Structures are given as C-alpha cells and as structure tokens.
Amino acid sequence: MKRYLAYLRYVLKHKWFVFLECCKLGIPRLGIIHDWSKFLPSEFLPYARHFHNPDGSHKEVHNKTGYYKPTNTGDAVFDFAWFLHLKRNRHHWQWWVFPEDESGVKILPMPYHYRREMLADWCGAGRAQGTPDTAAWYTENGHKLQLHPDTRKWVERMLGLEMVGTARTIAAQNGSNSVNTSWMR
C-alpha cells in the first residue's frame, strides 16, 4: 500500500508543477487535465510498482542527467503501461512519430498547444524530481528526442537555446533556468 501512496503523492506533485507551468504558458485547462490517464489502473498500478519499492521508497531509474529510457526496462507490464500513456497523451513527442510501412518513421509537427504542454511537462517533472533546469536537461538529452524541425526550433527558442554555427549557447548559463515566455507566436 505504501508504494501506491508514494506514487500518488508524486503524481499529484508532478501535476501541480505542470499546472503552474501551463498557467505561465497560457494553457491552464491543459494543466488541469494533464496526465489524467496516470490515474487509470492500467497505468497507475504498473507505474507505482516500477518506480517505488513496497515500503514506499523510490527506485532509482534515471541517469545523472534525469533521463531514463522507459522502453525495454525488463518490466513488460510497465513497458505496456508506458506505451498506453504515450498513445493517450498527445503532449508526448512520441505520439507524433509515425512508423512507416517499409522502414523508418515520419515525424509530424506538434500543434502549438501540445508543444506548450510538453514543455510544461518537462519543467514540471524537473521541479517534482528536484532537477528544475530544463534547459540543461534538454541540452544533455535533446538529441535523443525525435522532434519535427519546427517543433525542435520552437522548443530550443523557448528554453533560451540558440544554434550559433555548430555550437549551442545557453541562456541558462547566466543562472536562469526558467522558460522564456516573453515571446509567443
């Protein structure tokens, strides 16, 4: 029972931080309904078992940058729950990756409101996990994400990252780890 309560506390904390970020980005409604599927038994139970020990303590599944690869974890029930979560929630970039018949994938651009929810999700997850520097997380892990070029450009601009030749400059180096909301299309 302790593992389920621990996971419930985490989900509520995550949802709160995502809601705050969604409000900053002008999408409070999406902040309210964000990740409701995590309360379904098909997601909640496998997630709680995957992330928490029976005594409620947290299992470490992230690397030092805060990234974890939630596929092929060796936990088939969790892997399927993660798959369901991705297919139920369009704010995940994976929802926009379309497998082609022969081989490869077609990456679709994310609509603007889902881009904002995705960014709020990243920021909220970082805050909930004690690693709130989303720009640093993205700099370390962004190459692993299959984003449409338009979506990637928007994300990097919102995070204060710019391409200068082949080097990235990070606005967050000056101690700013917040999302740049001063410009919005």
Please tell me which residue, 63 or 4, carries the higher pLDDT value. Answer: 4
CB-based contact 61:51 (threshold 8 Å): yes
The structure tokens 């994976």 sit at 94
DSSP-derived secondary structure for 105-126:
EEEPPPPHHHHHHHHHHHHHHH
For residue 176, give both structure tokens: 């700013």
pLDDT, tens digit (0-9, with 9 covering 90-100), for 9-51: 999 999 999 999 999 999 999 999 999 999 999 999 999 999 8
pLDDT of residue 9: 95
Which of 98, 8, 6 has its CA nearest to residue 44?
8
pLDDT of residue 174: 42
Q: How far apart are CA 118 and CA 123, in angstroms?
A: 9
pLDDT of residue 175: 44
Mean pLDDT of the residues in the chain: 84
pLDDT band at 68 (very low <50, low <70, confident <90, very high): low
CA dihedral 128, 28, 109, 156 (to 10 degrees): -50
CB-based contact 134:123 (threshold 8 Å): yes
Q: What is the mean pLDDT of residues 127-135?
A: 89
Q: How far apart are CA 21 and CA 31, in angstroms?
A: 8
pLDDT of residue 95: 94
Q: What is the b/e burial string over 139-164, where b = at least 16 CB atoms within 10 angstroms of the residue's CB?
A: beebeeeebbeebbebbbebbbbeee
For residue 149, give both structure tokens: 């070029």
Q: Tell me: pLDDT of 80 over 50.
A: yes
Q: Tell me: pLDDT of 100 over 50.
A: yes
Which of 58, 48, 44, 138 has its CA nearest to residue 88?
44
Length of the chain equals: 185
CB-based contact 89:110 (threshold 8 Å): no
71: burial class by Cβ within 10 Å (0-12, 13-18, 19+)?
Answer: exposed
Phi-psi region of 89 (alpha: psi -120 to 50; beta: other; left: phi over 0): beta
